[in-house]
Amino acid sequence: MCDSASMKHGSKASNSTHKGVSIIEHRGQTKLRWRDPISRKLREKGLGVLTKAEAVVAAKLKAEALSLQRKKFLTGELVTEGESQCLITQYINLADSPGTRNNRTNALCHVRTIQEGMQGRGWNEINRSDLHRLRTLIANLDNVATTKNHKVTICRSFFAWLSQRGQLGVIGMDIIGFTLQKFKASEMKHGKHFTQAEAHEVLSMLLKTRPDAALFYLLKLLLGLRIGELINIQSTDIVTGRGVPFLKVFSPKTNRSRKVNLAVSPLAQQILLALKARNHPGYLFYPSITKDRNPQTVYQPLQHHLYQTTRRKLGWQVNAKDCRTSSEAFLACVNGWTMMQVAKQIGHSITVCERFYSEDLNLMEITHGDTIEEIAGIENLGSLILQANGINQSEIEKLQQDTKRSAEFDSFIARLKERDLGGDKGLKSLKSEEWLYDQEQLQRWKAMFIAKIWDAEQVNRMQLLAHSHKANRILPDTF
C-alpha cells in the first residue's frame, strides 16, 4: 500500500487483512477486484473516489463476505445454479393458479432487468446496489402505490425462495427487506355517492342517448361490480332456482371469486335472466368477442360515452366508480344487512367498508328499504330502461313466478349443458339416449324464450343507435 492519502494511478494493493481482494486506482476512481470463490471468475466493483483508509475498510468487508460465502459453499448451505436453469421461470411456474402466475410474471420482469445488468454475476453475488436499482425501476412505473407494493412483495418472496434454496449468497433477508421498502400509498380515491336525484338524472340521460349503456350502468349500480367483473360475466355464472339466487363473480383485480346475492335486487335478477336466455352459453355483454377479450378494450366505448355525454349534458363529471360506490351505500341501507355482509358482497375488506362508505352513509341519511332499486328510487326508471332495450319485463316476472315456465327454462339451460357434454368421448360410450340433447327442441326452446322475453324490433333499433356512436363502430352488438 502506498503512504499517500489517496493511491496513485495504476497502484494495486492486497495484504493479509483483506486477502484475495485487490484495491486498484484507475483514472482517479478506486475499484475492488477479486475472484469469485465459486465460479472462480474475476469480479470488479467501482467505489468512486476514496481515501486509502476508506478503501482498506471496503476491501476488508468484501474479504469477510467472500470468506463467509466460501464457507457456505463448502458446507453445502450455498448451492450453485445450473447455467441452463432460469430460477425466475422456475418460481413463476410454481404458482398454483394462472392469476398468481400472471402476477409473478409482471412483477419479476423487473428482476430480469436487474439480472441482465449484473454482467454475468449469479444470484449468490447480488448486492445492495442491485436491490436499489430494482426498487428504482418499480418506483418509476406509472402505477399506483398499491400495485407497486404488490410487485415489491412478489420480489421479496422470490428472494426468500432463493434464500431457502441456499442460492442467495451472503446478503440476508433483513437487508433485502430494508432495501426493498414499500411505497407510501396516497389517499385512496373513492367514488362519489349518488343521491336519488343524481342517480335518476344520470340513468335518464343514458336512457335518452344510448339505452344499452343505460342497461349496463344500471346493472353496475344495482350489483356494485367492478368493470372487469361485469364485462366478463357469463351465463353459467348466474345461479337461480332453489335457494337464494346468486351470481358467481371472478375479480381480475384480487384474483379471487365471490358470490353476489341477487335477492337484494329483483330488477338486476331480471336483467341477468333476460341476457342469460339470449346469450347462453356465453358472455352477457359483447358475446361475439371470445378471444383476446381485454376488459379495457371492450369497455372503452361505454366508458367514453359515460364520460363525454355526462360532462356535455349534465355539466358535471361522472365515472364508473361512482356507480360502485353508490351501490355500497344503498346496499348498506337494505333492511337486515350488516357492514360485514356489505363488504363481502362488494368484494372489499371490512377496513375499507368502515373507513369509507359507512362513514359517508351516516352523513347522507338514506332511507332504508328492502331492495336496492327501492332505496335508490329507480324502480320505474329501471322498467323503462328494460323496455327501451327490448326486454319484456312482464314475461320475466311470469318466468320467475310460474313453476312450469321456470322448469322449462331450467330444462333449456340443462340441455345446453348436455350439448357441451356431448363432445366428451368418455360419455359417448354410454350410448344412452335419455341424457343426449335434441338439437331441434333446443333451438325451438331458445327461439321461444327469446321471442317472449325480447322485442326483436326494439333490440334492432337499440343496436343501431349504439353503433351510431363513433366510439362503438368497431365493436359488435352489445348483447
| Mean pLDDT across 452-477 | 70
The 10 Å CB-count burial string (b at 16+, else e) for 406-421 is beebeebbebbeeeee
Co-location of 67 and 92 in the same domain: no
User: Residue 21: which H helix or E strand, with range?
Assistant: strand 21-26
Co-location of 462 and 341 in the same domain: yes
Any domain includes 445:
no
442 vs 459: CA distance, rounded Å: 22
Co-location of 140 and 46 in the same domain: no
For residue 10, pLDDT beyond 50: no
The pLDDT, as a whole number, for residue 3 is 39
Co-location of 220 and 368 in the same domain: yes
Q: Which of 37-41, 305-309, 323-327, 410-414 has the lowest mean pLDDT?
A: 410-414
Any domain includes 245:
yes
Any domain includes 158:
yes
127 vs 400: CA distance, rounded Å: 66
The pLDDT, as a whole number, for residue 76 is 58
Give the model confidence (pLDDT) of 297-351 as tens digits: 778 878 888 888 888 888 888 888 888 888 888 888 888 888 888 888 888 777 7
Co-location of 234 and 275 in the same domain: yes
Cis omega before residue 281 (within 30°)? yes
Domain boundary among 45, 75, 105: 75
Of 318, 370, 108, the closest CA to residue 205 belongs to 318
Give the model confidence (pLDDT) of 239-287 as tens digits: 876 677 888 888 766 667 888 989 899 999 889 888 888 877 788 888 8
What's the mean pLDDT when you consider all of the chain? 76
The pLDDT, as a whole number, for residue 155 is 92
Percent of the chain scoring above 90 in pLDDT:
6
Co-location of 267 and 321 in the same domain: yes
Co-location of 356 and 463 in the same domain: yes
Give the model confidence (pLDDT) of 69-120 as tens digits: 677 666 655 555 544 348 888 888 888 777 788 888 888 989 988 888 876 6
Any domain includes 396:
no
The pLDDT, as a whole number, for residue 420 is 46
Co-location of 341 and 296 in the same domain: yes
Any domain includes 433:
no
CATH, residue 288: 1.10.443.10
Are 463 and 212 spatial neighbours (Cβ–Cβ below 8 Å)? Answer: yes
Co-location of 70 and 125 in the same domain: no
The pLDDT, as a whole number, for residue 222 is 92
**Packing angle of the helix pair 439-453, 403-421 (nearest 10 deg):** 130
The segment with the largest mean pLDDT, out of 47-56, 375-384, 419-428, is: 375-384
The segment with the largest mean pLDDT, out of 50-64, 164-178, 211-225, 252-266, is: 211-225
Are 366 and 375 spatial neighbours (Cβ–Cβ below 8 Å)? Answer: yes
Give the model confidence (pLDDT) of 389-403 as tens digits: 888 888 777 776 666
* The total number of structural domains that make up the chain: 3
Give the model confidence (pLDDT) of 173-210 as tens digits: 888 888 888 887 665 556 678 888 888 899 998 888 88
Q: Cell 339416449, residue?
A: 433
Co-location of 171 and 239 in the same domain: no
The pLDDT, as a whole number, for residue 15 is 62
Domain boundary among 111, 146, 179: 179
Q: Of residues 447 and 308, which shows the higher confidence score?
A: 308
Which backbone phi and psi does 301 adopt, to 5 degrees? -60, -40
Co-location of 155 and 234 in the same domain: no
Residue 20, domain extent: 12-75
Q: What's the half-sphere exposure (Cβ side, CA atoms, 13 Å) at 4? A: 7
The pLDDT, as a whole number, for residue 434 is 43
The pLDDT, as a whole number, for residue 429 is 43
User: Quick one: pLDDT band at residue 168, thresholds 50, 70, 90?
Assistant: confident
Residue 119's Cβ-count burial label (10 Å; 0-12, 13-18, 19+) is exposed
262 vs 267: CA distance, rounded Å: 9
Co-location of 170 and 45 in the same domain: no
